[in-house]
């Protein structure tokens, strides 16, 4: 196990070390889109299966022979938000996305899918990963014709934006990406998190899912075990790693031992009810999930709730 510290250069060095020195038969990780994209040429050349825990659609689209992923595609998250907005009869959208791999991929999908759902993007702005104040962007958005604001990034930036929006008295409904689907966002944003909506894996609302949901048993067991072991709530970030471990375990238990056999075993996985969703991989799909892997959630009283349709 190596810590990349979120650095793409380190990720490449460590993936190379895993393959060359440690002689691994498979790799789980990295956790960010930028790092994963940097590592892909390394594992493809070495023919070592990689199960990424990052969300960017471009990780598996187009399909790479040895690359799989567990985090739900950002395209699926965008579809879930746009579908929700359509039901709310809101279609004038302001975008504020972080200028890194995750933000760029989300921005690409937000723009590409807008016409299909009848969305009109009236503001398209960005912020830096280390920025600590986004008041100028929000002031511009406030003066626009936008009906909603969609923020795409990972902590701490989105929490800063939520606080800035509250300070400015911005009245627009605030939507976030699945990149902040954990209690950490609520802790960082404080009371500014109230009312924020976002698409999320089901794990953070596992206790209120219908009993017929095929993921419910896995989710409740994961939440309980995570709480017992780490003394904190399990969320979908830990769930991405759990799914990767279990998918790899499944391929090996079905008889795979070499990198090529493990790759084949992963690709032949069907109906695995994991934390991120129900996975079915194929030669044409190494992401394995549909938009049903997401539910819309809303923050109320400093906690996650299913958003009302």
| Fold matches, 8-73+221-293 and 75-206+296-306 | yes
pLDDT, position 305: 92
Q: Which residues contact 39 (CB under 8 A, 6 or more apart)?
A: 11, 12, 15, 27, 30, 50
CA distances from 212 to 205, 209, 222, 301 (A): 15, 8, 17, 27
The overall longest dimension of the chain from CA atoms, in Å, is 60
At 220-248, the pLDDT tens digits run 999 999 999 999 888 888 999 999 999 99
User: Distance (Å, rounded) from C-alpha 20 to C-alpha 31?
Assistant: 21
How wide is the angle at C-alpha 287 spanned by C-alphas 15 and 18, nearest 5°? 10
At 16-41, the pLDDT tens digits run 999 999 999 999 999 999 999 999 99
User: Distance (Å, rounded) from C-alpha 309 to C-alpha 48?
Assistant: 43
CATH classification for the domain delimited by 8-73+221-293, as one of 3.40.50.2300, 3.40.50.1460, 3.10.20.30, 3.40.190.10:
3.40.50.2300
pLDDT, position 196: 98
Give the number of residues written for the chain: 309
At 115-160, the pLDDT tens digits run 999 999 999 999 999 999 999 999 999 999 999 999 999 999 999 9
3-class DSSP assignment, residue 98: strand
The domain ranges of the chain are: 8-73+221-293, 75-206+296-306
pLDDT, position 56: 87
CATH number of 75-206+296-306: 3.40.50.2300
At 52-104, the pLDDT tens digits run 999 888 999 999 999 999 999 889 999 999 999 999 999 999 999 999 988 99
User: Distance (Å, rounded) from C-alpha 97 to C-alpha 194?
Assistant: 20
């Amino acid at each position: 196990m190596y810590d990349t510290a979120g650095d793409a250069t380190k990720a490449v060095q460590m993936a190379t070390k895993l393959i060359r020195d440690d002689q691994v038969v498979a790799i789980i990780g990295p956790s960010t889109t930028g790092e994963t994209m940097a590592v892909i040429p390394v594992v493809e050349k070495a023919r070592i299966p990689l199960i990424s825990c990052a969300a960017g659609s471009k990780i598996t689209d187009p399909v790479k022979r040895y690359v799989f992923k567990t985090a739900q595609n950002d395209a699926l998250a965008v579809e879930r938000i746009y579908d929700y907005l359509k039901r709310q009869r809101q279609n004038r959208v302001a975008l504020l996305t972080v200028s890194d791999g995750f933000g760029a991929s989300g921005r690409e999908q937000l723009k590409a899918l807008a016409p299909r759902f009848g969305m009109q993007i009236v503001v398209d702005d960005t912020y830096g990963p280390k920025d600590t104040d986004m008041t100028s962007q929000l002031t511009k958005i406030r003066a626009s014709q936008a009906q909603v604001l969609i923020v795409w990034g990972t902590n701490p930036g989105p929490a800063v934006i939520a606080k800035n929006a509250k300070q400015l008295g911005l009245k627009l409904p605030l939507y976030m990406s699945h990149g902040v689907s954990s209690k950490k966002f609520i802790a960082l944003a404080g009371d500014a998190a109230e009312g924020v909506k976002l698409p999320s894996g089901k794990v953070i609302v596992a206790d209120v899912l219908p009993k017929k949901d095929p993921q419910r048993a896995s989710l409740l067991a994961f939440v309980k075990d995570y709480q017992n072991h780490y003394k904190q709530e399990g969320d979908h970030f830990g769930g991405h790693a759990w799914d990767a471990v279990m998918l790899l375990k499944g391929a090996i238990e079905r008889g795979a031992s070499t990198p090529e056999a493990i790759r084949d075993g992963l690709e032949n996985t069907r109906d695995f009810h994991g934390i991120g969703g129900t996975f079915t991989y194929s030669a044409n799909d190494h992401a394995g999930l549909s938009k049903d892997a997401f539910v819309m959630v809303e923050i109320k009283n400093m906690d996650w709730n299913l958003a009302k349709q």
